[in-house]
């Protein structure tokens, strides 16, 4: 029984830290890639609801990429949104965006 409990606890801790790591990675992507245009940063993220971010970030972030690719004002981001790096990290970005969305109830610790 004790053994079982220990396994259970360590699994819980493990899954918690991997979720945190994804959010952290997503935050780094955001700071590096999105902040130069969306200067309000975390405020920008919390302008949208969880549901809206989920919609933008489905299919590896395709809707978000398309939105930028259609907009000439976002031309400087085209290279990034077309790159493999974007789709590869979109999962982390998604986690981060959802974590800090308007109705998530979380307040970011960094600023
Ligand atoms: C080169 C500049 C640039 C970069 C880099 C960029 N964006 Fe944008 N983004 C824009 C522009 C321009 C718009 C169109 C809205 C506007 O006209 O203000 C836009 C629109 C959006 C919108 C739609 C909401 C709105 O305000 O209409 C979201 C959501 C968004 N960007 C998220 C992101 C995320 C997340 C990243 C990083 C992965 C990112 N953007 C990177 C320039 C950029």
Residue 51 is assigned to a structural domain of this protein: yes
Query: Mind listing the pLDDT tens digit for each residue in 28-75?
Result: 999 999 999 999 988 999 999 999 999 999 999 999 999 999 999 999
- CA–CA gap between residue 57 and residue 63 (Å, rounded): 7
Residue 104 burial (C-beta neighbours within 10 Å; 0-12, 13-18, 19+):
middle
Separation of CA 92 from chain center: 5
Domain interval for residue 28: 2-99
Give the chain's domain count. 1
> For ligand 1, atom 38, which residue shows the shortest CA distance?
34
Instruction: For residue 87, name the pLDDT band (cuts at 50, 70, 90).
Output: very high
Between the CA of 51 and the centroid of ligand 1 the distance, in Å, is 17
Q: Are 78 and 41 contacting, i.e. CB atoms less than 8 angstroms apart?
A: no
Q: Is 56 in the pocket of ligand 1 (CB under 6 A)?
A: yes
Q: Are 45 and 97 contacting, i.e. CB atoms less than 8 angstroms apart?
A: yes
Read off the pTM.
0.85
pLDDT score, position 107: 64
Candidates 25, 24, 27; CA nearest to 44 is 27
- CA–CA gap between residue 101 and residue 96 (Å, rounded): 9
> For ligand 1, atom 28, which residue shows the shortest CA distance?
64
């Amino acid at each position: 029984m004790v053994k079982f409990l220990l396994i259970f606890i360590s699994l819980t801790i493990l899954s918690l830290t991997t979720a945190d790591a994804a959010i952290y990675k997503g935050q780094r992507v955001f700071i590096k890639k999105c902040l130069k245009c969306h200067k309000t940063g975390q405020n920008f993220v919390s302008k949208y609801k969880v549901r809206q971010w989920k919609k933008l970030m489905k299919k590896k972030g395709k809707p978000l990429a398309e939105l930028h690719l259609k907009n000439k004002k976002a031309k400087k981001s085209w290279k990034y949104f077309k790159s493999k790096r974007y789709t590869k990290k979109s999962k982390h970005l998604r986690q981060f965006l959802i974590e800090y969305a308007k109705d998530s109830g979380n307040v970011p610790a960094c600023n």
